[in-house]
Every structure is written in C-alpha cells, then in structure tokens.
Amino acid sequence: MRLSCERFAARLASVSLDECLGIGLQATDGRSVAGLPIVAREYPPVEARPPRGRVLLFGGIHGDELSSVSIVFKWMGILNRFHSGLFHWRIVPALNPDGLLQRPGSRMNANGVDLNRNFPCPDWLAATRDYWERRTGKNPRRYPGPAALSEPESRWLAEQIERFQPDVIVSVHAPHSVVDFDGPPHPPRKLGSLELKLLGTYPGSLGRYAGFFQEIPVVTIELESATSMPSLREQKRIWIDLVRWLKERLPEAPSSPAQTLAAPGG
C-alpha cells in the first residue's frame, strides 16, 4: 500500500503520505489498464449492530477531477474516527488511477475511454455511438469505448456492484457544483451548499446503468472545483448531510450479508 500512497501523496496537494498510510487502504483484485491497483477501504458491520444498509462510495472515475479523490480521503478520515456500524461502507478513492496520475490528469483511462460511458445499457453500441457522434461531435473526452465494460476499471466497478449489492451508490465528480441523482426516489435536496439538479443520464453512464436499470439510488456529488478542495467546513457539511439523508433513506437494517472485499487473486 505504501507505493499507492506515495503516488497519491505526490499527486494530491491535500493528501499527505502519512494521512494516506493512516487510512488503512486495502488491496483489491482491481487493476487499471496500466496495471495500477485499484485500492479500497471497507468499513464493515460492527458486532451486534446490523447495519442499516450498504453504501458504495467512490471518487475519481474521471482522472482529472482531483478534488473528487482528495475529498474521499477526508471522508475516510472521518469514518476512521467515527465508524459506528450504522452503515456498511465500501469506499474506493480513485477508480481511474491511470487518468489521475497523468500530468495533466486525464478524464479518460489509459485507453482513452470515458469510463462513465462504458457501462452496459440496452443496445449499448448504437445508443452510445449515436450519442457520442451526434451529440458530442466525437469528443474524445466522451469516447464510450469499443464495447460495454471493455475497460478493466468499469468492469471491476460493475463486479463490485454485483458482489456488494449496495443499497446506495455515491459517485463523486467535479466541477458542476450540484447534486445529481438517478434511481428510485427520493433524492437529497441539498448536500452542504450543493443543491439538487437532475441532469438526466447518458447512454453508458453509471447513473443509467445502476440508477435507472438496476434501480439502485445513485447520488452524484459534483464538487465546485476539480482542482481546489471545498473549505474544511464545506467538506464536513456535505458528509453530515449525506449521512443524514442515508439515515432517512435506510431507516432500518435490511437484507442479506454482502460478500467481503476480494483480495488480489482471491
């Protein structure tokens, strides 16, 4: 884990090596195109307290949105101190390490694919091609890839959704300064100073795949800036509001236990 933390600390002004090492990140079986590990941290149920639900939270699906990675470190720092077993969290700070570690950072992965257009939907090829060609003018920053789940990073996330069966997915982006939501109602109206604005989904996006088709609520947090962090106060307010909304959303302990985080080769 030291090597991953050295990379994060060298890339992210807001995350120090000691802070990263103190988080307790775990190796997973996820690898990027360039072979970098996709690391995670699990906050499992605590004894004698069935969690109210499972929450999958990740940042950095777009590698040039640095704040979306840094803020996840800050929230893991909060959970490291206060995890009480209320929810079972699985947290992935940087889903697209290849894009993050490029300089300048790249929205896409090392194959030039926008991972947030690479998730399956009915008639994926025609739908994503049509959108990419006609609506974006073949913008390379929106390239959906050659096939649904052609990329190891999006494939790994889809596997996590299948294995972990989250009750809620939280995806962190920047810089549109809103909260977006896909899936069954009701969305949070406001997280910190970020207000709800329903942007709709794109063919191949996670919101359409998980929110619309699998009916898992997907909260998309769009921070104000991709390169500057929100104030400390705002970082905490977003977190507190998110947890408050999760409590309303998941009022009681449900469901079957999830499989644990798979280790490399396991």
Residue ranges binding Zn ion (CB under 5 A): 62, 173
Q: Which is nearer to Zn ion, 92 or 261 (CB)?
A: 92
CA distance 266 to 263: 5
Q: CB of residue 211 vs Zn ion: minimum separation in angstroms?
A: 15
**What tokens does 148 get?**
């649904």
Q: CB of residue 66 vs Zn ion: minimum separation in angstroms?
A: 11
Q: Which is nearer to Zn ion, 44 or 175 (CB)?
A: 175
Q: CB of residue 105 vs Zn ion: minimum separation in angstroms?
A: 11
Q: CB of residue 144 vs Zn ion: minimum separation in angstroms?
A: 14
Q: Which is nearer to Zn ion, 54 or 62 (CB)?
A: 62
Q: Which is nearer to Zn ion, 51 or 144 (CB)?
A: 144
